[in-house]
Amino acid sequence: MMRVTRPGSGVRTKICGLTRLSDVAAVSEAGAAFMGLVFFPKSPRNVSLPQARDLALAAPVGLAKVALLVNPDDALLDAVTGTVPLDMIQLHGTETPERVAEVRTRTGLPVMKAVGLRDAADLPILDRYVDVADQVLVDAKPPEDASLPGGNGVGFDWRLIAGRKWKTPWMLAGGLTPDNVSEAVRLTGARQVDVSSGVESAPGVKDARLIAAFCTAASGQ
């Protein structure tokens, strides 16, 4: 499978919530840097271990495979990492900094910790993770009545993080679409962006045309 690289931009994209082999092909051809696999039963993007293994094995060299987990216990961590070839763990629950460190040690994989923002009062929470996580996902805090910790298609005021710097690499998420990602990058200075529902034709159904459009818009081409 040939990957299409897009030179000229330092912005890397992550397409999360893949469920079909055609999704992997679309993400690869669009030039994304990361593909995300969701292990959360409430999500329309949830995949089984055998399904995830097939998807991960279909990924070409250079496309990083990320497992999204929500407050996983050790048994689930062991099952996922023992079955699916992965490059990174994404923790999207209420994991403490101590738990992030434990997951890094147990799995031997880099860990990305998602932190939800709604207003300036949430910003200090980010600082708790920069010393223990390999990356931080700056996401929108889910609505109070949401059943999912992410993938809700909601955003936050990007001005909250405009000009801010963290010593740990970070990725921007939350309500991004092909129509707004270039503006989000411009306002925040993000060099990495993450999308799930923003490139779907229905919940959990990725659209290859939207994936391509998102990657093109993120790269500024």
- Catalytic positions: 16, 139
Amino acid found at 100: V
| Distance separating alpha carbons of residues 101 and 46, to the nearest angstrom | 25
| Distance separating alpha carbons of residues 208 and 154, to the nearest angstrom | 21
Q: Is 4 exposed, middle or buried (0-12, 13-18, 19+ CB in 10 A)?
A: exposed
How many C-beta neighbours within 10 Å does residue 129 have? 24
Residue 198 and residue 18 in contact, taking contact as beta carbons nearer than 8 Å? no
**Both tokens assigned to 1:** 């499978």
| Distance separating alpha carbons of residues 46 and 107, to the nearest angstrom | 21
Please choose, from the candidates 42, 41, 44, 51, the residue with its C-alpha nearest in 3D space to the C-alpha of residue 16. 44
**Both tokens assigned to 117:** 């923002």
